[in-house]
Amino acid sequence: MSEFTPPKAPAHIRQGSSIGQPLTRRDGFLKVTGAARYAADNHPAGMLYAVIAHSSIACGRVSFLDVDAARGHPGVVDIMTPQHKPELAMDPDAKLHPFMFRMDLLQNDRVRYATQPIAVVIAETLEAATEGALLLAPRYEIETAAVGLDGAESFVPPGVGAGNPAAASKGDVQAGLAGASLRIEATYETPSQYHNAMEPHAIVVAWHGDTLSIDMPTQGLVMTQSRIAAMFGIPPEDVHIRSPFLGGGFGSKGLAAGPQILGVMAARMTGRPIKLVLRREQMYGPVGHRAATRQTLRLGADGEGSLTAIDHHAKTTSSTFDDFFEPAADVSHTMYASPAIATSHEAVRVNTGTPLFMRAPGEATGSIALESAIDEMAQACGMDPLAFRLKNYAEVEPISGKPFSSKALRQCYAQGAERFGWATRKLEPRQMRDEDGMLVGWGVGTATFPALMFQGQARAVLRADGSGVMETGAHDMGQGAWTALAQIAADGLGLEIDQVEFRSGTSDLPDAGIAGGSAHTATAGIAIHGAGADVIAKLADLATGDERSPLFGAGNTGVLARAGRLFRRDDESRSETYGDILVRAGLAEIEGRGSSAPDPAALSAYAMHAHGAVFAEVKVDPDLGQIRVTRLIGAFAAGTIINPHLVRSQYYGGMIWGMSFALHEHAIIDPRSGRVMNPNLGEYHIPVNADVPSIEAILVEERDPYVNALGIKGVGEIGVTGSAGAIANAVWHATGVRVRHFPITLDRLIERR
């Protein structure tokens, strides 16, 4: 193990009182009054509307567009096509790094997936632009589309997810399976899923000479800024992006999407501001999705119920023109102890938009399969599924052998099971009914998600009037960044939260990294924390070096910052307000900077993950097969909780995504055309309110000294994992039918009887 010491608290510390408080959302007032301005709510003077025309075929080329018909519609101003468009400074098909995804910007007449943009109609009114797009009535030369997991030759991808190797192993899996007294092998399928944030991707954009003014939702202001700048050959600082609110992102708004760039092109071409908003059906192609998987799990166990081998193989799809490979099997690296583990991936290229990160990418797809398989093995062993999980509890990270930086999973299991009443569960399936005769089933799933942190920066200011400013270009897509980060800022500055002006959500602020990987609170939060410490340290230097200050000479023992005052650490009767210190020094304000970055020493020494246990009760109509999740209880340990009120909401959201994964959402793709046949919210089902009668989240106490200075692990995605598997396992327990094809729909229960 490499040398590592946990980060020390800075010499001048703040005695926190905002962190940990269940504050309500600071942006709540704006959101409940309709005053929160989302991108598409903007309307600069002289603005035109742009509407995309998209391909209905999945493979081939566009042979004709009825441009005259569209142009003839009153109000249509111009039509952008491969033949008529502004020049770009960069090839949309260039890929300079793995996070640069190829885009469809009318570079030619080729069609590589259904819903690909093939033209943009620009008009004075939304009605004219919309109808203009329809009037283009494209004709095509159609080629046979590659569709689905068996749609093309498979290959081993160069890497999966964000650069993980496609295969990993430890120990001898074949020997582990051969020597096992019990073996199971099962194959699970998960469908293509689409992020479907409530807010469609949008952009309102105006060129002012060669600078850009943009309103668009983004989870990654700086990456988006630099991508747009590169596409148009202008310096990044000339691209000004405002993204104060996102109407949900879930991974689909991390990077600039092609349709948004088309909006910038339309503004360039017409010389007028443009609003371009995707129609709902256009969100099933160019803005990412979670790829389908087919996963085969082979598990071995000895006579005592200890796993001897885990072999997890995943097949997935990617597009014909770009690389993203759902890292479904990798979840087996971290979950259960086994002397032998092997994970591997294969992929096929099909005519689909490129898949992308979608809330818990890899973990969601992988864990529903793994958690189902673990239950199947528990059943084979004749063991309670929770007891089986505890029996195979990973004391160290199974694949690497590293110790966990912290892991309160046992407490999650215990507290969740207690709250749920798990102890009275019948071991065999189809044993429980409610008073109305409904089959009742209980299932458990283990939740996990890595505790990540990216690079971020923040700037802090203390002013002579006693107030403070904290700036970081963070993103609030619903997770509560406006509130949680302001809480960290308040503590970092030693101020009450209302004395802190928290500035966020534009590209002109310090880079807060991307809001993804459940890492945003850690990334932006540690930068904020550092900026606060930096400015307090500067203030303390002013005071302790000034003999007129009651803090003079305290430099050796340090000071505390609290409620707008600095206190001598060894004698709190001696203190002074920030304002007094600055005024005496003749300063209107004082500035500090902070940054965050993962610590390589900590990363090499420890495995860092959040954990949880989810317990589900489902009721299933014994004859009709309709399923309802009547109780869902998750217990999660994710390090320091900045705001329990908002964290609970994040867990609920994740758990409902788990429910959606297990029972509802899937793209229905016509195998002949490659078109998604349910590209709408009426038939692409996500849960409605009535699907969620009872949901609870338990916040399990956990202190992690290694992940970062504040011990934050992240909570945005873990709720999806565990929940999906728990529900699938509960359906089995209710019915005795093991459905390995997700989502579990009632026809699969009807047919099996």
Q: Is the peptide bond before 327 cis (omega within 30 degrees of 0)?
A: no
Structural contact between residues 702 and 638, judged by C-beta atoms closer than 8 angstroms: yes
**Tokens 């991108």 correspond to what residue?**
39
**Least Cβ distance, residue 193 to other proteins (angstroms):** 12
Which residues, in sequence order, are bridge partners of residue 616?
443, 632
- CA 88 to each of CA 50, 85, 233, 268: distance values in angstroms, whole numbers, following the listed order: 18, 9, 8, 10
14 vs 740 by CB, closer to other proteins: 740
Secondary structure (H, E, C), 333-351: HCCECCCCEEEEEEEEEEC
**Least Cβ distance, residue 499 to other proteins (angstroms):** 20
d(CA 348, CA 159) in angstroms, rounded, equals 13
Q: Alpha helix (H) ranges present in 381-519?
A: 385-391, 409-420, 481-493
SS3 content of the chain, % helix, strand, coil (to 5): 30, 25, 45
**Tokens 């195998």 correspond to what residue?**
671
Between CA 255 and CA 34, with CA 225 as vertex, the angle to 5 degrees is 75
**Least Cβ distance, residue 127 to other proteins (angstroms):** 5
d(CA 541, CA 532) in angstroms, rounded, equals 14
**Least Cβ distance, residue 699 to other proteins (angstroms):** 14
73 vs 520 by CB, closer to other proteins: 73
Catalytic residue selected from 326, 346, 717, 751: 717
d(CA 344, CA 296) in angstroms, rounded, equals 10
**Least Cβ distance, residue 363 to other proteins (angstroms):** 17
**Least Cβ distance, residue 191 to other proteins (angstroms):** 12
14 vs 289 by CB, closer to other proteins: 289
Structural contact between residues 711 and 705, judged by C-beta atoms closer than 8 angstroms: yes
Task: Supply the DSSP string of 661-719, one letter for each residue.
Answer: IIII----B-TTT--BS--STTTS----GGG-S-EEEEE-----SSS-TT-B---TTTT
Region of 373 please: left (phi>0), alpha (psi -120 to 50) or beta: alpha
717 is catalytic: yes
**Cβ neighbours of residue 461 under 8 Å, at least 6 residues apart?**
468, 469, 470, 471, 535, 589, 590, 591, 592
Instruction: Give me the count of residues in the chain.
Output: 753
Paired tokens of 402: 């590293």
**Least Cβ distance, residue 662 to other proteins (angstroms):** 12
9 vs 198 by CB, closer to other proteins: 198
483 vs 575 by CB, closer to other proteins: 483
117 vs 625 by CB, closer to other proteins: 625
138 vs 161 by CB, closer to other proteins: 138
d(CA 183, CA 586) in angstroms, rounded, equals 76
2 vs 689 by CB, closer to other proteins: 689
**Least Cβ distance, residue 47 to other proteins (angstroms):** 9
**Least Cβ distance, residue 670 to other proteins (angstroms):** 5
Region of 209 please: left (phi>0), alpha (psi -120 to 50) or beta: left
503 vs 648 by CB, closer to other proteins: 648
31 vs 208 by CB, closer to other proteins: 31
- Per-residue exposure over 396-435, b if at least 16 CB sit within 10 Å of its own CB, e if not: ebbbeebebbbbbbebbbbbbbeebebeebeeebbebeee
- Per-residue exposure over 658-669, b if at least 16 CB sit within 10 Å of its own CB, e if not: bbbbbbbbbbeb
Region of 564 please: left (phi>0), alpha (psi -120 to 50) or beta: left
**Least Cβ distance, residue 232 to other proteins (angstroms):** 27
131 vs 323 by CB, closer to other proteins: 131
277 vs 347 by CB, closer to other proteins: 277
**Least Cβ distance, residue 198 to other proteins (angstroms):** 4
Neighbours of 43 (CB within 10 A): 11
- Per-residue exposure over 211-237, b if at least 16 CB sit within 10 Å of its own CB, e if not: ebbbbbbbbbbbbbbbbbbbbbebeee
Sign (positive or negative) of CA dihedral 230, 232, 235, 238: negative
**Least Cβ distance, residue 631 to other proteins (angstroms):** 12
Specify the pairing of strand 695-699 against strand 627-637.
Answer: parallel
d(CA 713, CA 608) in angstroms, rounded, equals 8
Structural contact between residues 77 and 302, judged by C-beta atoms closer than 8 angstroms: no
**Cβ neighbours of residue 682 under 8 Å, at least 6 residues apart?**
none
278 vs 460 by CB, closer to other proteins: 278
**Least Cβ distance, residue 331 to other proteins (angstroms):** 21
d(CA 247, CA 240) in angstroms, rounded, equals 20
Neighbours of 242 (CB within 10 A): 20
Task: Supply the DSSP string of 65-96, one letter for each residue.
Answer: --HHHHHTSTTEEEEEBTTB----SS-TT--S
Sign (positive or negative) of CA dihedral 80, 82, 84, 86: positive
Catalytic residues: 717
